[in-house]
Amino acid sequence: MYESCQPTYLVDGEPVRTRIRVVGDPGDRWLPGYSKVQVVTLLEDGRGVRERSLATRQLYASGVTAAGLERRTGYRLVSGPGTSGAGS
């Protein structure tokens, strides 16, 4: 599961981030237009809605850049293969 690096909106002053789940494998990354994955937006109850393709370059393992700055775009990994399930 990934969540947006930038809060989508505020509720009672608290940031709310959009969560997505990858549901389709990427295509051949060397072919034009195939470096994308199918994702769904997750609702609070865990249901997936709004299936769409998303460029793999918008998915990050961490919410922090190599320079130590918070990412402002894309989606950061919060659970999945190679993670403990805790937020980054």
Strand stretches in the chain, DSSP E: 2-4, 9-11, 14-16, 19-22, 36-42, 48-55, 59-60, 75-77
In sequence order, the 6+-apart residues with CB closer than 8 A to the CB of 12 are none
CB 27 within 8 A of CB 11: no
What confidence score (pLDDT) does residue 83 get?
Answer: 54
What confidence score (pLDDT) does residue 33 get?
Answer: 62
Q: What is the pLDDT of residues 36-81, one digit of tens each?
A: 888 899 888 888 888 888 888 899 999 899 999 999 899 999 986 5
> What average pLDDT score do residues 14-30 get?
79
Please give the Cα distance from 28 to 10 (Å, whole number).
Answer: 38
Strand partners, 80: none
What confidence score (pLDDT) does residue 88 get?
Answer: 38
> What average pLDDT score do residues 79-84 get?
61
Instruction: Please report, for the chain, the start and end positions of each structural domain, with discontinuous segments joined by +.
Output: 2-77
